[in-house]
Amino acid sequence: MVFSKKFALTAVLVMTMAAGAIAQSDPIVARKAMMKSNGAAIGTLAKMAKGEAPFDAAAAKQALESLHGAAGFADLFPVGSDQGDTKAKDTIWSDNAGFKAALAKFIAAADAQAANPPKDVDGVKAALAAIGPTCQGCHQTYRKPQS
């Protein structure tokens, strides 16, 4: 059924484009998606570190590399986007240089680990120890507590 296959493909394309448009027009949605991806990557690594998943060098490397996807995070905080379904704290705008520095610190830590990916479970633990505090450091100052 060539026709229905084509139709299905078109539908997927249209949906993908719509999702892209929403992400572009809604910085809150886009920045949360970046953070969700960070959370998923750290989750993958944490499972290996805790022995809940077997060590997988390729998966660990991929998770570490994916963190770089948040490099443009600071660009997704236009004035006014403190309103809405967001945990962004006012400090992002009142101390924007500090916020950008916290992001740079995190990206640098993630890139360093991705460039020298873990070879065993201890390596995964070390990568988490190097990156985790840069997540928390930013959250403590620039994100409202999770209710």
Q: Binding residues for ligand HEC, per CB under 6 A?
A: 28, 31-32, 35-36, 38-39, 42, 67, 86-88, 99, 102-103, 106, 131, 134-135, 138-139, 142-143
CB 67 within 8 A of CB 75: no
In whole angstroms, how close is the CB of 59 to ligand HEC at the nearest point? Answer: 16
Residue 47 or 139 having the CB closest to ligand HEC: 139
In whole angstroms, how close is the CB of 2 to ligand HEC at the nearest point? Answer: 40
Q: Please give the structure tokens belonging to residue 29.
A: 């949605």
Residue 62 or 86 having the CB closest to ligand HEC: 86
Count the neighbouring beta carbons within 10 Å of the beta carbon of residue 1. Answer: 7
Residue 90 or 122 having the CB closest to ligand HEC: 90
Which residues contact residue 16 at a Cβ distance below 8 angstroms, ignoring those fewer than 6 apart?
A: none
In whole angstroms, how close is the CB of 4 to ligand HEC at the nearest point? Answer: 36
Residue 20 or 39 having the CB closest to ligand HEC: 39
In whole angstroms, how close is the CB of 11 to ligand HEC at the nearest point? Answer: 27
CB 99 within 8 A of CB 138: yes
Alpha carbon 84 to its chain's center: 20
What is d(CA 83, CA 7) in angstroms, rounded to the nearest whole number? Answer: 39
